[in-house]
Every structure is written in structure tokens, then in C-alpha cells.
Amino acid sequence: MGDYDAARILVEDAMTVQRVVGDMDGIASAHYWLAQLALYQGDCGSALNLLLDSVRIFRQTRGYSYIHALGLLGHVARDKEDYKLAFECYRESLHVRVERRDTLAITQSLEDFAGLAWREGHMERAARLLGIAETICKSAGHNVPAGPDSAYQRTVEVSRQALGDEALKTAWTEGRMMGTAQGIDYALDEADHLNIGCETGD
């Protein structure tokens, strides 16, 4: 039996106990960890279903790992190119992070939004979001990235290749100039996310 299989059995055994005692937050967390194990084994379909169950329960319990389950569900949806679901997960997660006043978690969420933006072809939005994330993170005395460095660097490099150094710097600076509240509103703005503008004519 491999390490992942052994870990899965341990989590499933724990979840059995949690069901008996009615620990809904524990059950939600178990679904989250089972999803992690499924991803490590390349089973994205099972991971997606486990995360959907985890988030559904966390919406009731509001447990600590709620934001992480939403974030991971967003990543899975993003990698499956379900960008609408990814955006919805990131948006819900950011709302909770703001409620908790968790600066590092907010920064990581903004980096996630930036990673989604470049995948959708919105390079200037990605750069602005990185600028917003940098300002918020540094205001709390921390350095970026708040999330995985590899994902952050990929967002930076893809945006640079698409925009060029000067346009990247301009968009990044625009993001840095936004205040925290304005920056979070920008990340949450579905109209901007979808690149919807006012149309003229017929």
C-alpha cells in the first residue's frame, strides 16, 4: 500500500468518527484533505467532487479551512478551464478572507485572481492585480508572493511576454496606486473580469 493510500484510509477513518459525533467542520475538512490526496494521485474528477462537498458543508460551518477549500476548488476549475467557476470560487474565498481581516490570505487570493486573469487573456488586469497584492502585502510588513512562488513567477513572466516591460510596469503601478478597498473591489468586479464594456450603436 502506498503512502497516499494509507493517508486516505486514515482520513476516511477519521471522517467516520466525525460523522458519528456530528462534527460537520471535521467532515468538511476531511473532504478537503481527501481532495488533496486525489490531486496528488492525478484524479482531478474525484478531487472536484470532494471539494464541492467540502465547500457545501463549510458554507454552513464557516470553519478555518473554508477559504482553502474554495481556493483549491478554484484552482481545479481553472486548470479544467472552467474559468467561470474558478472566478466564483476565488470571489467567495476573498470575501471570507476580507471578513477575517487576514492580510496574507487576501494577498494570496489576489495572486490567484491574477493567475486566472492571464489565462483568460487579460494581461493588464493580471499585472494590476499583482500590483494591488504587492501593496497590501507590504503594508502588513510582508513580501510577495504570499502563495507559491512558481505560480507567481509564471504570472509575472507570461504578463511580461504579452505586454512588454513598459506596459507591464504601467499596469503594475496602476494596481499599486489603488487603495486596499479599491483594489479588492477591482478583483471582485465581474464586469472587469469579463471585459464587459458599454457598447454604442445598434
pLDDT band at residue 115, thresholds of 50, 70 and 90? very high
Cα–Cα distance between 159 and 138 in angstroms, integer? 21
Residue 146 has pLDDT above 90, yes or no: yes
Identify whether residues 74 and 139 lie together within a single domain: no
In this prediction, residue 3 carries a pLDDT of: 87
Cα–Cα distance between 50 and 186 in angstroms, integer? 30
- Of the residues 83, 118, 142, which one is the last residue of a structural domain? 83
Identify whether residues 108 and 66 lie together within a single domain: no
- Of the residues 51, 83, 115, which one is the last residue of a structural domain? 83
124 residue type, one letter: E
Average pLDDT over the chain reads 91
Is 169 within the bounds of a domain?
Answer: yes
In this prediction, residue 39 carries a pLDDT of: 95
Identify whether residues 179 and 137 lie together within a single domain: yes
Burial class (CB in 10 A: 0-12, 13-18, 19+), 187: buried
Query: In the block, which residue shows the cell 477591482?
Result: 186
Cα–Cα distance between 122 and 56 in angstroms, integer? 30
Identify whether residues 109 and 67 lie together within a single domain: no
Identify whether residues 10 and 78 lie together within a single domain: yes
**ω into residue 145 within 30 of 0, thus cis?**
yes
Identify whether residues 107 and 70 lie together within a single domain: no
Identify whether residues 148 and 79 lie together within a single domain: no
- Of the residues 83, 114, 139, which one is the last residue of a structural domain? 83
In this prediction, residue 179 carries a pLDDT of: 87
In this structure, what are the phi and psi dihedrals at residue 53, rounded to the nearest 5 degrees? -65, -45
Cα–Cα distance between 130 and 155 in angstroms, integer? 9
Identify whether residues 107 and 190 lie together within a single domain: yes
CATH number of 61's domain: 1.25.40.10
Identify whether residues 68 and 118 lie together within a single domain: no
Is 97 within the bounds of a domain?
Answer: no
How many distinct structural domains can be found in the chain?
Answer: 2
Residue 199 has pLDDT above 90, yes or no: no
Identify whether residues 143 and 65 lie together within a single domain: no
Question: What digits encode the pLDDT tens for the residues 147-198?
Answer: 999 999 999 999 999 999 999 999 999 999 998 999 999 999 865 666 533 3
- Boundaries of domain holding 78: 1-83
In this prediction, residue 189 carries a pLDDT of: 87
In this prediction, residue 192 carries a pLDDT of: 65
Identify whether residues 117 and 56 lie together within a single domain: no
Residue 100 has pLDDT above 70, yes or no: yes
